[in-house]
Amino acid sequence: MLGLPVNPHMKPLADEPMTQSRVAIIGAGFIANAHLEALRMIKDLRVTAVVDPNKGAADRLAERAGAQAFTSVAEALAAAVADRAHVLVPPPLHATVGTQTLRAKLPTLMEKPLAVTSAEAAALVAAARENNVALGVNQNFMFDPLLTRFAANLKRGDYGRLRHVGVSCAVPLRQFAARQFSHWMFEAPANIILEQMIHPLSQLASLLGRLEVTAATARPAVEVAPGLAFHRGFDVSLTAGEATAQLHMSFPENYPTWQIDCLCDDALVTLDLWRGNMVRLGRTRYLEEVDNGLIDARAGLSRFSQAMVRLTKYAAGHLKLIPRSDPFFRSMLASIKAFHHAVDTKTTFAADGAFAAHLVDLCEDIATRAGVSRDAAPKPKTLARRDSTPSFDVAVLGGTGFIGKATVERLVAQGYSVGVLARGMRGLPQTFHAPGVTLIEGNVTRPDDVARGIGRAKFVVNLAHGGGGGSRQAIIDAMVGSANAVAEACAAQGVERLVHVSSIAALYLGDPNAVITPATPADTQGAERADYSFAKAEAERALLALHASKGLPVTIQRPGVVVGEGASPFHSGVGLFNNEQHCIGWSNGRNQLPFVLVEDCAEAILCALKAGPDVVGRTDNIVGPVRLSAREYIDALAEALHRPLIYHPSAVWRMQGVEIAKWMIKRVGGRSVPWPSARDLQSRGMLARFDTAQTESALNWRPQADRAAFIERGIVAPAKAMG
Secondary structure, 3-state, 189-256: CCHHHHHHHHHHHHHHHHHHCCCEEEEEEECCCEEEECCEEECCEEEEEEEECCEEEEEEEECCCCCC
- CA-to-CA dists, residue 178 to 183, 224, 277, 445, 722, angstroms: 11, 12, 30, 21, 12
Residue 411: predicted pLDDT: 97
Is the distance from CB of 428 to CB of 495 less than 8 angstroms?
Answer: no
In a domain, 519, yes or no: no
**Mean pLDDT for the chain overall:** 90
Flag whether pLDDT at 10 surpasses 50: no
Arithmetic mean of pLDDT, 7-13? 37
In a domain, 723, yes or no: no
Percentage with pLDDT > 90 across the chain: 69
Residue 466: predicted pLDDT: 63
Tell me the C-alpha distance between 642 and 636, whole Å: 10
Task: Determine the 3-state secondary structure of 71 from DSSP.
Answer: coil
Flag whether pLDDT at 9 surpasses 60: no
Same domain flag for 133 and 147: no
Residue 602: predicted pLDDT: 97
H or E, element range at 47: strand 45-51
Tell me the C-alpha distance between 126 and 139, whole Å: 20
Same domain flag for 170 and 283: yes
In a domain, 285, yes or no: yes
The per-residue pLDDT for range 457-499, each reduced to its tens digit, is: 999 999 987 666 567 777 888 888 889 999 999 999 999 999 9
Same domain flag for 247 and 310: yes
Please state the φ and ψ torsions of residue 551, each to the nearest 5 degrees.
75, 25
Same domain flag for 131 and 156: no
H or E, element range at 166: strand 162-170
CATH code where residue 64 lies = 3.40.50.720
Flag whether pLDDT at 187 surpasses 60: yes
Tell me the C-alpha distance between 120 and 384, whole Å: 32
Q: How many CA atoms within 13 Å lie on the side-chain side of 407?
A: 30
In a domain, 32, yes or no: yes
CATH code where residue 264 lies = 3.30.360.10
In a domain, 310, yes or no: yes
- pLDDT band of residue 426 (cuts 50, 70, 90) is confident
The per-residue pLDDT for range 20-70, each reduced to its tens digit, is: 899 999 999 989 999 999 999 998 999 999 999 988 889 999 999 999 999
What lies within 8 Å, CB to CB, of 240 at 6+ separation is 204, 205, 208, 209, 210, 211, 212
Flag whether pLDDT at 2 surpasses 50: no
In a domain, 256, yes or no: yes
Tell me the C-alpha distance between 413 and 396, whole Å: 15
* Domains of the chain: total: 2
The full DSSP string for 440-473 is EE--TTSHHHHHHHHTT-SEEEE-------SSHH
Same domain flag for 129 and 277: no
In a domain, 585, yes or no: no
Arithmetic mean of pLDDT, 375-396? 77
In a domain, 392, yes or no: no
Give CA 493 to chain center in angstroms. Answer: 35
- pLDDT band of residue 384 (cuts 50, 70, 90) is low
Tell me the C-alpha distance between 397 and 540, whole Å: 17
Range of the domain at 272: 143-324+363-370
Instruction: Tell me the whole-structure pTM to 2 decimals.
Output: 0.83
Question: Of the ranges 22-36, 175-189, 632-646, 691-705, which one carries the lowest mean pLDDT score?
Answer: 175-189
Same domain flag for 130 and 188: no
Please state the φ and ψ torsions of residue 154, each to the nearest 5 degrees.
-65, -45
Same domain flag for 68 and 172: no
* Cα dihedral 316→322→326→328 (10° resolution): 160
H or E, element range at 718: helix 717-721
Same domain flag for 164 and 297: yes
CB atoms within 10 A of CB 433: 15
Tell me the C-alpha distance between 387 and 359, whole Å: 43
Amino acid occupying residue 691: D
Is the distance from CB of 199 to CB of 141 less than 8 angstroms?
Answer: yes
CB atoms within 10 A of CB 599: 21
Angle between helical axes of 145-156 and 327-345 (0-180°, round to 10): 60
What lies within 8 Å, CB to CB, of 495 at 6+ separation is 454, 457, 458, 459, 460, 553
Arithmetic mean of pLDDT, 9-14? 38
Same domain flag for 304 and 165: yes
Residue 669: predicted pLDDT: 66
CB atoms within 10 A of CB 245: 26
What is the radius of gyration, based on Cα positions, of the chain? 28
Flag whether pLDDT at 378 surpasses 90: no
Question: Of the ranges 157-171, 364-378, 615-629, which one carries the lowest mean pLDDT score?
Answer: 364-378
Same domain flag for 84 and 210: no
Percentage with pLDDT > 70 across the chain: 95
Residue 8: predicted pLDDT: 36
CB atoms within 10 A of CB 166: 16
The per-residue pLDDT for range 232-260, each reduced to its tens digit, is: 999 999 999 999 999 999 998 888 999 99
Same domain flag for 107 and 216: no
Same domain flag for 71 and 184: no
